[in-house]
Structure 1
């Protein structure tokens, strides 16, 4: 079992940290929201008053933060993780951020003798709760193997996908696919209902055929009911679509469908739905047809 400092106890991080506690690790957590730290304490973790307190004595530090600027500040800042930990610590960033930020952190870590992995996750809040996340890790193979026991307490599909930043590139590909499928499910719902077909029965058939997908499995009921309580917020998916498009530009490839879907997500955010679940893209598709 490991001594883990966990920074970022939001919708995903809170459940992930609690699962590590249940697995027997010693987990000290910090978040800028005090109530999030209190929840970890109630789950059996150790609360920290600040970042330095969270990483003091840690063998492994995990960050789960909203975006590249927050990760860069927490890790690279003058009072950040790299300034506080000793050489040999394993730093695992499980946030979804730009690949170039992950590579910058890995370079800075190497200069201080800190091992670094980028290991973003997929599976949403339910995956975090059930410890069934997909984990896509970038970095050195030996560091990945060292982290594997921790990953196995958090997820089911655990793959070393390449060097530093590769995990973030795979996550960008994941996010463009998820957003695209949500957009198509939204269009299917609008078409079915506008044509007088019962949406629930129609989606039941679609889920059993070649059109079946995890979005239908997990979100069709709430989408049909127009319930958009956040499991993964539009705001965060908007950020991820920006990463996907920037990655495409850097790689010199064209992703035309991704561009269209990114605009649907951006429209949802512009219409004030940023705090809703990403399945609220349905609201934009409905508006386009004045439904």
Structure 2
């Protein structure tokens, strides 16, 4: 297919690369044109502008850092949707606001453009290996028609319902992941201060009922000391704010999420918005002057690529 891919960040780049390797024609666009160089070397065309990227595309895919970026790129007379042809498809793979997504999809429909939301989850390393999970919202017929295209980028693919449903589930999963990460850090700290070997404690938790995806993956990055999950505090706070706004709008109390949000807010203030979100655990390490380190753990998760 002829694909326009917009946004070549930590997640967008490997997703675009997976599509190239699957044999699709691709035009790419990013405000930082240097990000496109490796893809151009693999056969992609670097567009000089957003309209040029969309010209002639059967499918346009956006992978952008936050709702503000989506709002700047997608809607309106100068946006991506205005540059796409009738009968094409727009796939939004950013984590964005559900109400915004519904509004953009309605605009797309007025232009006779199909829309799917397809936020990804499961760690940046799995985007590189093509195993990342994809949550999809939109018309089931459109989803079925383009599922093979999504399968070229990811592993497990689940249809969540109409437009907006996938965005909601995505931020919910992130809130769970942040809570699991913090709980894993507390557990490891308790093990260390009680005199247990940290590597053995990690593996004991990993095979137990107390295991979580965050412990199994990001726990390794804490124990290494790199914290390099390729996901920043800024992105974590964006997702948290989307979830807490949803909670307020639905009148749903989330006392645990509020507590962990306070922890991540402090971590963001302490280490900066561009620090890795995994560094939330460092608050506990710094407070107790007890680094959580053990030999044999990787600085990045297996499968993470290099541009």
Name 1:235's counterpart in structure 2: 234
Q: Does 1:124 align with 2:123?
A: yes
Aligned-partner Cα distance in 1 for 2:72–2:221 = 36
CA contact (8 A) 1:76 1:105 kept: yes
User: Residue 293 of structure 2 aligns with which residue?
Assistant: none
What is aligned with 1:100?
Answer: 99
Deviations 1:85-135 (A, max 9, x none): 111110000000111111110111111111111110002211110111111
What aligned pairs does 1:240-279 form with structure 2 within 5 A after superposition? 240-279=239-278
What is the match of residue 158 of structure 1?
Answer: 157
For 1:190, the equivalent position in structure 2 comes to 189
Structure 2 residue runs of 5 or longer lacking an equivalent are 291-307
Q: Secondary structure at the match of 2:35?
A: helix
TM-fit CA distance, 1:282:
0.7
Residue by residue over 1:142-179, the C-alpha shift from the partner in whole angstroms, topping out at 9 and shown as x without a partner, is: 11112201111111111110111111001011101110
- Of residues 221-230 and 240-249 in structure 1, the stretch that sits farther from structure 2 once superposed is 221-230
Question: Do residues 146 (structure 1) and 145 (structure 2) align?
Answer: yes
Counterpart CA distance in 2 for 1:259 and 1:125 is 25
Shift of 1:68: 0.8
Secondary structure at 2:4 match in 1: strand
Q: Which residue is equivalent to 1:87?
A: 86
Could you tell me whether the CA contact under 8 Å between 2:218 and 2:227 is conserved in 1? Answer: no
Q: Which deviates more, 256-265 or 12-21? A: 256-265
Other-structure match for 2:114: 115
- 2:28 match: secondary structure: strand
Deviation at 1:139, TM superposition (A): 1.1
Cα distance in 2, alignment partners of residues 66 and 95 from structure 1:
7
Q: Residue by residue, what CA displacement relative to the aligned partner does 1:201-253 show, whole Å, maximum 9, x if unpaired? A: 11111101111222232222321122122421121011101111111112221
Moved more, 76-85 or 61-70: 76-85
> Which moved further from structure 2: 60-69 or 249-258?
249-258
Mean CA deviation greater in 276-285 or 55-64: 276-285
1:202-241 map, 5 Å: 202-241=201-240
Kept in 2, the 8 Å contact 1:230–1:275? The answer is no
Q: Secondary structure at the match of 1:62?
A: strand
**Quick check: 1:273–1:280 contact (8 Å CA) kept in 2?**
no
Match of 1:20 in 2: 19
2:202 and 2:228 map into 1 onto residues whose CA distance is: 21
1:128 & 1:136 partners in 2: Cα distance?
14
Distance between the aligned counterparts of 2:164 and 2:223, measured in 1? 37
* Structure 1 residue runs without a partner (length 5+): none
User: 1:67 corresponds to which residue?
Assistant: 66
Q: Do 1:264 and 1:281's aligned partners in 2 also have CA atoms closer than 8 Å?
A: yes
8 Å CA contact retained: 1:18, 1:45: no
Indicate conservation of the 8 Å contact 1:63/1:92, yes or no. Answer: yes
Q: 1:99/1:288 Cα in 2 relative to 1: closer, same or farther (>3 Å)?
A: farther
Separation (CA, whole Å) in 2 of partners of 1:277 and 1:128: 17
Farther-moved stretch of structure 1 (137-146 vs 20-29): 137-146
TM-align CA RMSD: 1.4
* CA offsets 1:17-63 (integer angstroms, 9 cap, x no match): 00000001111110001111212212322211111111110000000
- The answer (yes or no) to whether the contact 1:189–1:224 under 8 Å persists in 2 is no
